[in-house]
Structure 1
Amino acid sequence: MKLLRCLFLLLFACSLPLRAELQKPDVVLEGAVTVAQNHTHFFVPFTVPAGVHRISVDFSYDNRREEKTVFNIGIHDPSGFRGQSGSNKDHFTIGPGDATPSYIPGTIPPGQWKFLISVSNIRPEVTSKYRVEIRFNSPLEDSSFTMEPLETSQRWYRGDMHMHTGHSDGFCGSQNGKHVPCPLFLTAQTASNRGLDFIAISDHNSLAHYAEMRELQPYFDKMLLIPGREMTTFYGHFNAFGITQYVNYLVAEKDGRTVDEVMKDIRALGGIASINHPMSPTGEACRGCGWTPPGTVDMSQFSGVEVVNSGRVMDGFWDQQIAKGVRLTAIGGSDNHDATKAEDQRGALAHPTTVVQAKELSVAGILDGIRAGHVFIDLTGSRNKLMDVDASSASGTAHMGDALAIKSGVDLKLHVHVVACANDQLRMLVDGKVAGDPLPVQGDDQSLDTHWVGDGAKHWVRFVVMDTAGNTVLLGNPVYVNF
């Protein structure tokens, strides 16, 4: 009997979908069903303690395929119905702002919940054992709409970090040409058509778009949907990435929160944040668009800054922060509000594109790449332009976004690999200022070498690619010297 029990548990483990970072279940429900329960419904109760904001459920049972056993499932909270998905799902999650389709998002009240099993078919000779694994507050499902990376290759991934839909102020033309809230699906479809590997839909202060993103992610299995939210305050806007829980964004000088308090909550939940269009003017046309928070803000709590918004390069604020010792990763965002905009229009989706070197196409992978500064911005929204930077000296090597210590008088060798930028020019900037003569890019796949001599102080060295008209084509993150 012990051997049979072990084999049974092994079969259950193998029957569950493979999921990355699957935490140990908080509750396990097990039982057996016979023909006596055919065409009946029964509930299996379990207790949800206080402090739970998300539940995730995995369901499995034996004799499923070979004996045509079919169980339908659902769930009730202490007040009643929260969803039913028949036999088409073995996994579902319910959170405050999102849930697996078939289930109702919302708060998770403590108390007695009931897992529903409806026996649709079981043969007379069959006994089917089932197992329900219930997990509370899954970090993976709080941060992502997919349980597995969409791709496991380390490479450069292309995305757009800032866009809006009908869940905030995104509008587009309807079938009859009316000005209507733009559906989220249209944003995702346009992004996919433009060859993006990931997008972060960042509707203002809302959780509502997450439910649609969770529904769409299985369909868009080549493009990662990253939870995003534009924290919109009177004194500046910033995007939070990788969290789905509500964060109190109500920053105010009187009876309000501070930016630091908001950032503390975002980081505690495992997310990162990036300041949006900090050099934009603030006024009646764009309320709070510039960065003017009251009091002192700990800028080191941010991971990035939007250096390119739509087609506008705004790198002055970025350089100012680096000069103060704060290493913020430069990213870009289209700030798209109309998914139907053609690519030659300002604010078109994927213009600019943020290109991130990541170990895999997952929320954790992309956010880690941003944290590391392994990022450049493609202002043309191309599918193939690349810029990679490596630095070396006697003390070691560094990649774009990394730091390297060099003494005064030491030569820093810089190797830049550029793709699809023939006839453009490569320019080096030190501390935000152009240094040396531009280097011509003559081929579609070219490596260029240059150098810079350190003086023992802190500096940041970065590169941009410019076209013949003087427009920025690619903008890279720095190699930090003596930071």
Structure 2
Amino acid sequence: MTGASGSIGRRGLLVTGAASAFTLGSVSFASAADSSGVDETKTVRGTLPPGSPDFVYLPVEVPRGVRELAVSYTYEKAVVPAGTQNNALDIGIFDERGTELGGRAHHNSGFRGWSGGARTEFFIRGDEATPGYIAGPVRAGTWHIALGPYTTAPEGLPYAVTITLRYGPTPATPAPVYPPQRAKGRGRAWYRGDCHIHSVHSDGKRTPAQIAALARAAGLDFINTSEHNTYSAHSAWAGLWGDDLLILTGEEITTRNGHVVALGTDPGTFVDWRYRARDNRFGHFAREVRRAGGLVVPAHPHATCIGCNWKFGFGDADAVEVWNGPYTVDDEVSLADWDNTLVSGRSWTPAMGNSDAHKDPDPIGTPQTVVLADDLTREAIQAGIRAGRSYIAESSKVSLTFGAAGGRGLHAGIGERLPVDKDAPVTVRLEVTGAPGCTMHFVTDQGTLFTSAALPASGAGTAEWTTTAAYAAYVRAEVRHAPVVPGLPGPFAALTNPVFLGR
């Protein structure tokens, strides 16, 4: 059965031009008393013009007695001139509690799932839902299918959405089982983690079981589940954690003006993403992340994908992802941009690195953040990241020790300050293992002031350099492979957060 057209008229766009959302006409079904237990299906077709709001809502009037709601959709690609973006349409859904811009899932948000452009169909039922979506009763009321026209061709984006209601008793919803907040650990030690990973619960292809196995094989101590705009994976790790692997829960908040990893939020936390930098709402949602016990980490801030480049500034960030996946030029730009913020030393944002792995052959743990923490717990790992007591390595094969020493037995490690007089001599020392053929570098607020010879085939080596706080406001270390692209530095093997010098 085909419903009325779901097109947005030009006049409608003018009326709602200042809004970030538009609501189409509603889709109604027979009441449960009239359905006789027969599935009902309706299809809505329409065209979204260029300049459509970021989110277009299709209301669905759900009667009582619905056991399962299923949705599928299609949209047409256009013939576009070279260099012009073609159509791309995301999808998600909100239940009868509404679509109001909100915070946490258990605080009156109607969020029930999001798959972006990764799926063409999904279902929600009391006992189960498509990955990316939240199982639970299909209650009576007005639900809203959320369409997100990511990019639109000049002639518009034709779409068709098919909704099927299946009637019958509502299956019981199992209580979610979430990962524990601690693993056995080794007391105060360096712990390796990858905090930006995708599974089948967003646009990844791996199951949580496959990711857990790869994390262990990569020598990781902790991971953070970070699906695009959904928390459905938080309860998908039962049986996969252990004394050797701490699993944190989070979200990759994926807006049209950049992505941010919510790292280690309370399980079941939903953080909204339906805003741009011009809406001046990011500070509110950064506070929501922290209220839920998480860290705010802008992801791949200089990535070149549409909507990926970070536009919100770093005033609300707890750390920033300067190295995302196997080394590319945008990592170099992210590193340089971050380095430019370090000179004050009083209020600085630590760096971290994560794999952003989605599918084979994306390696889990390339790179990984190595954190000095008091224990292998959510709180301790987050404290280490927030304090900058960490370095980034391309794999668990690479280890380093880095610090600075001054007179009278003073010493400062990564993320710390060495409180010396400005003219007092300071010795900076770096020890590296697992980096054959790489060079070691000391970088200050003035630039790279020391470069070693290439490390031997054993991959181990030590570098020392003497400076003063007057000459270097901070020193950080880089370990790099030989250059691959003419005119560019070699890819990273490891890099550290800074040691600050001076009082």
Match of 1:438 in 2: 452
Give the distance between the partners of 2:423 and 2:405, measured in 1 at CA. Answer: 14
Match of 1:29 in 2: none
Match of 1:449 in 2: 464
What letter matches 2:202 in structure 1? S
Helix, strand or coil for the counterpart of 2:341? helix
Give the distance between the partners of 1:53 and 1:421, measured in 2 at CA. Answer: 47
2:202 equivalent to 1:168: yes
Q: Residues 247, 405 of structure 1: CA spacing in aligned structure 2 closer, same or farther, 3 A cutoff? A: same
2:297 equivalent to 1:274: yes
Q: Residues 291, 432 of structure 1: CA spacing in aligned structure 2 closer, same or farther, 3 A cutoff? A: farther
Give the distance between the partners of 1:481 and 1:153, measured in 2 at CA. Answer: 29
What letter matches 1:449 in structure 2? E
2:493 equivalent to 1:481: no
Match of 2:250 in 1: 228
Give the root-mean-square deviation of aligned CA atoms.
3.2
2:324 equivalent to 1:303: no
Give the distance between the partners of 1:287 and 1:371, measured in 2 at CA. Answer: 29
Give the distance between the partners of 1:390 and 1:356, measured in 2 at CA. Answer: 15
Match of 1:145 among 162, 179, 185: 179
2:392 equivalent to 1:377: yes
Q: CA deviation at 1:166?
A: 1.2
Helix, strand or coil for the counterpart of 1:321? coil
Structure 1: segments with no counterpart, 5+ residues: 1-50, 55-81, 84-96, 107-141, 172-181, 342-346
Helix, strand or coil for the counterpart of 1:401? coil
2:363 equivalent to 1:332: no
Match of 1:191 in 2: 215
Q: CA deviation at 1:402?
A: 0.9
Aligned-pair identity (%): 25
Q: Is the CA contact 2:133–2:230 (under 8 Å) kept in the aligned structure 1?
A: no
Helix, strand or coil for the counterpart of 1:322? coil
Give the distance between the partners of 1:359 and 1:170, measured in 2 at CA. Answer: 32
2:355 equivalent to 1:321: no
Match of 1:465 in 2: 479
Q: How does 1:67-146 map to 2 (within 5 A)?
A: 145-146=179-180
Q: TM-score, normalised by structure 2?
A: 0.58
Match of 1:426 in 2: 440
Q: Is the CA contact 1:230–1:238 (under 8 Å) kept in the aligned structure 2?
A: yes
Listed one character per residue, the Cα deviations across residues 153-176 of structure 1 (whole Å, up to 9, x for unaligned) are 3222222121111111113xxxxx
Q: Residues 394, 301 of structure 1: CA spacing in aligned structure 2 closer, same or farther, 3 A cutoff? A: farther
Q: Is the CA contact 1:413–1:452 (under 8 Å) kept in the aligned structure 2?
A: yes
Q: CA deviation at 1:232?
A: 1.0
Q: TM-score, normalised by structure 1?
A: 0.61
Q: How does 1:380-395 map to 2 (within 5 A)?
A: 381=395, 383-394=396-407
2:309 equivalent to 1:290: yes
What letter matches 1:462 in structure 2? R
Give the distance between the partners of 1:428 and 1:143, measured in 2 at CA. Answer: 46
Match of 1:246 among 270, 293, 301: 270
What letter matches 1:364 in structure 2? E
Q: Is the CA contact 2:398–2:493 (under 8 Å) kept in the aligned structure 1?
A: no
Listed one character per residue, the Cα deviations across residues 118-145 of structure 1 (whole Å, up to 9, x for unaligned) are xxxxxxxxxxxxxxxxxxxxxxxx9972
Match of 1:265 in 2: 288
Listed one character per residue, the Cα deviations across residues 171-190 of structure 1 (whole Å, up to 9, x for unaligned) are 3xxxxxxxxxx322222222
Helix, strand or coil for the counterpart of 2:322? strand
Give the distance between the partners of 2:181 and 2:325, measured in 1 at CA. Answer: 32
Q: CA deviation at 1:152?
A: 3.4
Q: CA deviation at 1:482?
A: 4.3
Listed one character per residue, the Cα deviations across residues 215-273 of structure 1 (whole Å, up to 9, x for unaligned) are 1344x44111111211111111110111132223332367x552111111112222111
Give the distance between the partners of 2:302 and 2:212, measured in 1 at CA. Answer: 28
Helix, strand or coil for the counterpart of 1:157? strand
Give the distance between the partners of 1:157 and 1:146, measured in 2 at CA. Answer: 17
Helix, strand or coil for the counterpart of 1:370? helix
Listed one character per residue, the Cα deviations across residues 259-312 of structure 1 (whole Å, up to 9, x for unaligned) are 11111111222211111111123xxxx23210123xxx5x34312111111123
Helix, strand or coil for the counterpart of 1:426? strand
What letter matches 2:209 in structure 1? F
Give the distance between the partners of 1:306 and 1:200, measured in 2 at CA. Answer: 14
What letter matches 1:311 in structure 2? P
Give the distance between the partners of 1:267 and 1:105, measured in 2 at CA. Answer: 27
What letter matches 2:310 in structure 1? W
Q: Residues 324, 287 of structure 1: CA spacing in aligned structure 2 closer, same or farther, 3 A cutoff? A: farther
Give the distance between the partners of 1:417 and 1:436, measured in 2 at CA. Answer: 14
What letter matches 1:149 in structure 2? A
Q: Is the CA contact 1:98–1:210 (under 8 Å) kept in the aligned structure 2?
A: no
2:226 equivalent to 1:205: no
Q: Residues 98, 448 of structure 1: CA spacing in aligned structure 2 closer, same or farther, 3 A cutoff? A: farther
